[in-house]
Amino acid sequence: MLRMSTLLLRTLRDDPADAEVASHRLLVRAGYVRRISAGIYSWLPLGYLTFRNIERVVREEMDAAGFQEVHFPSMLPKEPYEETNRWEEYGPDLFRLKDRKGNDYLLGPTHEEMFTLMVKGEYSSYKDLPLSIYQIQTKFRDEPRPRSGIIRGREFVMKDSYSFDMDEAGLEISYQKHREAYVKTFKRLGLSFNIVAAMAGAMGGSKSEEFLAPCPTGEDTYVLCEKCGYAANVEAMVTKTSPYVGDAPAALEVFDSPNTPTIDSLVDLLNAKFGGGYSADLTLKNVMLMADEKAISVLVPGDREVDLKRLGANLSGVQELRLFEDADFEKFPGLVKGYIGPQDAKKFGITIYADPRVVPGSHWVTGANEKDKHARFVTNGRDFDVDAYLEAAEVRAGDLCPKCDNPVIIDRAIEIGHIFQLGRKYAQALNLTVLDQNGKSQVVTMGSYGIGVSRAVAAIAEQTHDEIGLSWPREIAPADVHLVATGKDEAIFETAEKLAHELESKGLRVMFDDRKEPSAGVKFKDAELIGIPYIVIVGKALAEGKLELRVRKSGEKSEISAATAGEEIYSIVTSASSITA
Amino acid sequence: MLRMSTLLLRTLRDDPADAEVASHRLLVRAGYVRRISAGIYSWLPLGYLTFRNIERVVREEMDAAGFQEVHFPSMLPKEPYEETNRWEEYGPDLFRLKDRKGNDYLLGPTHEEMFTLMVKGEYSSYKDLPLSIYQIQTKFRDEPRPRSGIIRGREFVMKDSYSFDMDEAGLEISYQKHREAYVKTFKRLGLSFNIVAAMAGAMGGSKSEEFLAPCPTGEDTYVLCEKCGYAANVEAMVTKTSPYVGDAPAALEVFDSPNTPTIDSLVDLLNAKFGGGYSADLTLKNVMLMADEKAISVLVPGDREVDLKRLGANLSGVQELRLFEDADFEKFPGLVKGYIGPQDAKKFGITIYADPRVVPGSHWVTGANEKDKHARFVTNGRDFDVDAYLEAAEVRAGDLCPKCDNPVIIDRAIEIGHIFQLGRKYAQALNLTVLDQNGKSQVVTMGSYGIGVSRAVAAIAEQTHDEIGLSWPREIAPADVHLVATGKDEAIFETAEKLAHELESKGLRVMFDDRKEPSAGVKFKDAELIGIPYIVIVGKALAEGKLELRVRKSGEKSEISAATAGEEIYSIVTSASSITA
């Protein structure tokens, strides 16, 4: 039993100064977590109970799926991370340290290398596979901007799994098993979520999906089609295109366009000069970038910006991506800033990428590669060639769903899980091979799967709180029932004490507010802030043989008879599903 | 169910090259742990199950005692550790690192500072106390010589608790509650242990006891009286003394003693010169030391050495202790090396400490502070004065128990727990005060209590293994029953499979050796090595309706009827106590 008279818990009336999001604000105010340093938190008793409930659900679902639990250290030697090149690649996000002998170590930000080496150490044959193993472990990442409390911390707990298979078909099966286990896990946690297509990104590999918990203050932006259910994070959104169907374009025509530094001024000039009908989406922007110090041009319709994050995710193998600076333009004297067109790209030796909307045969108004001159009827395939099409333009609400043509919405969310087909990158780098049926050595293919366990505490808080406090699903809550005794009457406290024991003997977890000093109002406010799903009040009405039961989420109140309270409460609590409680 | 056909487990036939102790050897061979780096290990599935069983027992006992679980980060900011001076004091044992902004952090070796600050942050009144809180957390210490596998690692898991009280009486109650909870915990873990008096040492504070698990390869040495049960670690052993009862000593007499560089040669000379009756314990050694660069002399009977660890633990406030070197002797030209006596100490300005055996009124043969001369009848209180008595001499088996005069034995053990009354050191340094009943600010007094959770895996292995493998108490074992199907007969595997499910449905945890390839012999050897308490064999005897049950610990074998096997096994397993299984 949790007794508020002795529980290490002091609720706060005021929001912490550094809290930007509701979960952070409420988890601090309700006495669940405390900040130790930027992105580093400690857990008070209520917070750790909640955390452990989530950890238990995650573990139970992983075990139920047949995944085996292992555990790695946090402090890891440098060598394996050098073999995969991540000691360098991770950059300043990696916490590095030396031991007393000067040997290099890191604090594990993820454990791909260690999982790979563990399997390499134990297994040697195709008969040993498939295998899925997981751990629930503390991770360390030196985030440039730790924020939102425990949502983006520098020390946090993740469940990370890896699957090991002989081939792609096996990997696909392991991937689907994890996907199903994740769906079950997040449902049990009471989270509403979308599974969105994602880019594998820096981790290498191919197929990848994210589990996103919608939340207005979430850091992740994603696209959702409310008609067919298509969902993708912004990096992975596929542009819907249709082939060019107009007349064959007229011949390329260069025209004077002084004083048109912006797309808007260019459109005005076009409409004035050619009698209307022009809009920004008929013009073509030539965005010049340096990709690992190699010049590239990205063509996007004039009404869209290039989304560097989206471009980066789709431009594989590129580490550093930045817009042209003046010094870069100086290296290409043929490029007239503000008047660039793709017509002469071959001359300049620049690779041309285009947004998929720049379909073959389409014609555009664009720069004429001469000061104060633009050209129209500049036609893809006739006047210029595209080296490769690439998702590069910003995504907007109202863009068409690539599956069903319905306009999509854009929503914010917290990433709570990520699954992806890692492939052979780590197995290759660390030489994880097994003998196949023909006795031939084969590199194993891997999948990688993560759940943010400590982050889930905040994600659930974000989705379930209301204006007066936290409001946990029962399975996650630090207790089932928050029993409040009010007033000064000894008989009230005795009845409440007896009821608390009765409920516990029935298997319910009870938080008992047995404090004598605070007023009833303070106790109710605390109960609402703490967010245990059922609040039972033993107070003045006891004289008439009545107690009150409040459902925290709905605010619904009902009278129950003191004589049969134990049984009544038990039946109400256990008959409700944990998610709707 | 654990299935050996899919379990990430490869037992090893050979001992690992670096393993010095049985637990290390067997935990590696049986596939429980793997070495990642010096003193840093990962857990394979069987190992982590065992670890988590121990963690569960520890948590249940802490919760049962009313202690509240919290959780701190591993990465801690420097500032609080500077306020207590431990950032420096810890020396090279502390792992230090910097974040991307250059701020200093450490990896928590213990969490006194954080616990103190947590209570300071929440509490302010005497009404809030007493409080006991704990965590189960990973600790990091850069041990100079990590060894014995997971017994002395650099990353390991501890349960650490702290108690907070207003006064010594409260602290004593909290201390006893922890002591009782520890006794229950270690009993449930199946450990045999002694509670021995210890010095608080570097942590400050007063009363302190260690829980030591006797083990021939243990690192800790302690004294045990088999008659009355008195136990103390060597630092804390109290010397039994009796007052001087002989005649009043004759006057101090200086005599020639050339060529007597050793106690033995001195005793020979004494017996030759004065007609016998002399032994080494009648002579007095003057051991010169530098304590934080201040010269001290320690007097011990000639038959004993000074034990520097013991002396250090008893000489409070001294950081560095070392024997005199030649350079030190040069600073005290009056001290004649080999011929020092305490008679002229005052003249030299040296503090004189004495072993308690140098009782007041006793007389000794010692140096005469002149080359080639000794003196006899040198009497304590007449010819020299002792500034303070101190436990400094080595302890030996056969020394008398301070409680009952019985000769003690000296034994080796692994430290599995430590409890001590920390006092106000940390509360003072970090200003943890609360208002007392008179509204006056009072510094809180603390207790500190630790259990080595990961180390307990090894300690239990050390105490319970035999020459053929591990042999776990049931509560700790990764499963209750190790079910082995042998041969190639499908019917045998089907029966075993059904039995495995039946046992699981009864609530037993089953490890099922469902592998087809290994021989029966290999499977039995694996079962013996892995150490699950009951081994059930489904083999050829099934044709006669028989299975075999082996008790791993006793080696006892019995036949059971296949028809009623589920019930029989269940009743045997659950009727035995977990400790004797």
Please report which confidence band the pLDDT of residue B261 belongs to, taking 50, 70 and 90 as the band edges. Answer: confident
Contact A122 B44 (CB under 8 A): yes
Which tops the pLDDT comparison, A147 or A581?
Answer: A147
Among the ranges given (A534-548, B83-97, B145-159, B336-350), the one the predictor scored with the smallest mean pLDDT: B336-350
- List of chain B residues whose C-beta atoms are within 8 Å of the C-beta of residue A76: 36-37, 40
Q: What is the pLDDT of residue B578?
A: 42
Please report which confidence band the pLDDT of residue B346 belongs to, taking 50, 70 and 90 as the band edges. Answer: confident
Q: What does each C-alpha distance from B379 to A11, A493, B284, B364, B432 come to in angstroms?
A: 68, 72, 11, 6, 50
Residue A450 belongs to domain with CATH number: 3.30.930.10
Contact A449, A178 (CB under 8 A): yes
Length of chain B: 581
Same-domain status, B172 and B270: no
A11 touches chain B (CB under 8 A): no
B313 touches chain A (CB under 8 A): no
Please report which confidence band the pLDDT of residue A451 belongs to, taking 50, 70 and 90 as the band edges. Answer: very high
Stretch 45-64 of chain A: residues touching chain B, C-beta under 8 Å? 45, 48-49, 51
DSSP at A247: P
State yes or no: pLDDT of A110 exceeds 50: yes
Contact A45 B123 (CB under 8 A): no
Q: How far apart are CA B213 and CA A293, in angstroms?
A: 64
Residue B280 belongs to domain with CATH number: 3.90.960.10
Q: What is the pLDDT of residue B171?
A: 97
Give the tens place of pLDDT for each residue, A545-555: 999 999 999 99
Alpha carbon of B65: minimum distance to chain A alpha carbons (Å): 12
Same-domain status, B79 and B209: yes
pTM of the model: 0.91
- List of chain A residues whose C-beta atoms are within 8 Å of the C-beta of residue B99: 95, 142, 154
Give the tens place of pLDDT for each residue, A454-467: 999 999 999 999 99
A91 touches chain B (CB under 8 A): no
**Phi, psi angle pair for B288, to nearest 5°:** -95, 130
Domain enclosing residue B89, as ranges: 32-237+410-462
Is residue B495 domain-resident?
no
Contacts of B439 (CB under 8 A, 6+ apart): none
Alpha carbon of A305: minimum distance to chain B alpha carbons (Å): 32
Give the tens place of pLDDT for each residue, A200-259: 554 445 789 999 999 998 989 999 999 999 999 888 899 999 899 888 899 999 999 998
B255 touches chain A (CB under 8 A): no
Is residue A475 domain-resident?
no
B70 touches chain A (CB under 8 A): yes
Contact B45 A68 (CB under 8 A): yes
- The number of C-alpha atoms within 13 Å of B52 and in the hemisphere containing its C-beta is 16
Same-domain status, B59 and B180: yes
DSSP at B206: S
Strand partners, A41: A35
Please report which confidence band the pLDDT of residue A579 belongs to, taking 50, 70 and 90 as the band edges. Answer: very low
Give the tens place of pLDDT for each residue, B301-312: 999 999 998 998
Please report which confidence band the pLDDT of residue A276 belongs to, taking 50, 70 and 90 as the band edges. Answer: confident
Place of tokens 């050390």: B462
Contact A96 B95 (CB under 8 A): no
Give the tens place of pLDDT for each residue, B142-156: 999 998 889 999 999
Closest-CA residue of chain A to B129: A6
Contact B44 A8 (CB under 8 A): no
State yes or no: pLDDT of A375 exceeds 70: yes
Q: What does each C-alpha distance from A69 to A62, A115, A135, B121 come to in angstroms?
A: 8, 11, 5, 36
Same-domain status, B186 and B222: yes
Give the tens place of pLDDT for each residue, B97-148: 999 999 999 999 999 999 999 999 999 999 999 999 999 999 999 999 998 8
Contacts of A211 (CB under 8 A, 6+ apart): A182, A186, A193, A194, A195, A415, A416, A417, A418, A419, A451
Averaged pLDDT of chain B = 94
User: What DSSP line would sit under A495-528, residue for residue?
Assistant: HHHHHHHHHHHTT--EEEE--SSS-HHHHHHHHH
Contact B436, B444 (CB under 8 A): no
- List of chain B residues whose C-beta atoms are within 8 Å of the C-beta of residue A107: 75, 97, 107
- List of chain A residues whose C-beta atoms are within 8 Å of the C-beta of residue B74: 74, 138, 155
Same-domain status, A128 and A205: yes
Task: Give the mean model confidence (pLDDT) for residues B484-504.
Answer: 96
Is residue A281 domain-resident?
yes
Which tops the pLDDT comparison, B317 or A120?
Answer: A120
Is residue A24 domain-resident?
no
Closest CA to A319 of A516, A88, A510, A534: A88
Closest-CA residue of chain A to B91: A100
Same-domain status, B363 and B259: yes
Same-domain status, A494 and A530: yes
Among the ranges given (B281-285, B347-351, B423-427), the one the predictor scored with the smallest mean pLDDT: B347-351
Q: What is the pLDDT of residue B314?
A: 85
Alpha carbon of B99: minimum distance to chain A alpha carbons (Å): 7
Is residue B192 domain-resident?
yes
Contact A107 B49 (CB under 8 A): no
State yes or no: pLDDT of A57 exceeds 90: yes
The beta-carbon neighbor of A70 closest among B43, B68, B76 is B43
Contact A97 B99 (CB under 8 A): no
- List of chain B residues whose C-beta atoms are within 8 Å of the C-beta of residue A71: 42-43, 48, 51
DSSP at B392: -
The answer to whether ipTM exceeds 0.85 is yes
Give the tens place of pLDDT for each residue, A74-100: 999 999 999 999 999 899 999 999 999
Task: Give the mean model confidence (pLDDT) for residues B229-241.
Answer: 90
- List of chain B residues whose C-beta atoms are within 8 Å of the C-beta of residue A37: 73, 75-77, 103, 105
Closest CA to A539 of A501, A487, A495: A487
Q: Which among A35, A44, A59, A516 is the top mutation candidate for probing chain B, defined by the most B β-carbons within 10 Å of its own β-carbon?
A: A44
Task: Give the mean model confidence (pLDDT) for residues A527-543.
Answer: 97
Q: Tell which of B423, B443, B462 closes a domain.
A: B462
Q: What is the pLDDT of residue B567?
A: 96
Among the ranges given (A155-164, B7-16, B34-43, B336-345), the one the predictor scored with the smallest mean pLDDT: B336-345
Which tops the pLDDT comparison, B535 or A262?
Answer: B535
The answer to whether the peptide bond before residue A407 is cis (omega within 30 degrees of 0) is no
Task: Give the mean model confidence (pLDDT) for residues B199-219.
Answer: 79
Please report which confidence band the pLDDT of residue A492 belongs to, taking 50, 70 and 90 as the band edges. Answer: very high
Q: Tell which of A402, A436, A463 closes a domain.
A: A463
User: What DSSP line would sit under A419-471, residue for residue?
Assistant: EEEEETHHHHHTT-EEE-TTS-EEE-EEEEEEEEHHHHHHHHHHHH-BTTB--
Among the ranges given (A137-146, A183-192, A327-336), the one the predictor scored with the smallest mean pLDDT: A327-336
Please report which confidence band the pLDDT of residue B579 belongs to, taking 50, 70 and 90 as the band edges. Answer: very low
Same-domain status, B71 and B174: yes
Q: Tell which of B439, B462, B485 closes a domain.
A: B462
State yes or no: pLDDT of A581 exceeds 80: no
User: How much of chain A, in percent, has pLDDT values that exceed 70?
Assistant: 98
Six-digit token string for B133? 């809180």
- List of chain B residues whose C-beta atoms are within 8 Å of the C-beta of residue A77: 36-37, 40
Same-domain status, B100 and B162: yes
Is residue B86 domain-resident?
yes
State yes or no: pLDDT of B200 exceeds 80: no
State yes or no: pLDDT of B449 exceeds 70: yes
Contact A75 B122 (CB under 8 A): no
Q: Is A297 helix (H, G, I), strand (E, B) or coil?
A: strand
Q: What is the pLDDT of residue B337?
A: 87
Among the ranges given (A315-319, B151-155, B476-480), the one the predictor scored with the smallest mean pLDDT: A315-319
B36 touches chain A (CB under 8 A): yes
- List of chain A residues whose C-beta atoms are within 8 Å of the C-beta of residue B161: none
Spatial strand order of the sheet with B321-323 comes to B321-323, B284-291, B294-301, B351-354, B388-389
Averaged pLDDT of chain A = 94
Stretch 138-157 of chain B: residues touching chain A, C-beta under 8 Å? 138, 140, 142, 144, 154-155
Task: Give the mean model confidence (pLDDT) for residues A50-78.
Answer: 98
Helices A565-575 and A490-505 pack at an angle, to 10 degrees, of 50
Is residue A394 domain-resident?
no
Same-domain status, A285 and A354: yes
Helix and strand counts by DSSP (H, E) for chain B: 15, 30
Among the ranges given (A175-189, B172-186, B205-219, B381-395), the one the predictor scored with the smallest mean pLDDT: B205-219
Closest-CA residue of chain A to B123: A10
State yes or no: pLDDT of B40 exceeds 90: yes
Same-domain status, B381 and B416: no
Domain tally, chain A: 3
Is residue A9 domain-resident?
no
Same-domain status, A48 and A197: yes
Which letter, b or e, does each residue of A379-388 get, where b requires 16 or more Cβ atoms within 10 Å of its Cβ?
bbeebbebee
Please report which confidence band the pLDDT of residue A578 belongs to, taking 50, 70 and 90 as the band edges. Answer: very low
Please report which confidence band the pLDDT of residue B581 belongs to, taking 50, 70 and 90 as the band edges. Answer: very low
CB atoms inside a 10 Å sphere around CB B349 = 9
Among the ranges given (A220-229, A299-308, A332-341, A406-415), the one the predictor scored with the smallest mean pLDDT: A332-341
3-state secondary structure string across B125-151: EHHHCCEEEEEEEEEECCCCCCECCCC
Six-digit token string for A67? 């995944």
Q: How far apart are CA B338 and CA A203, in angstroms?
A: 71
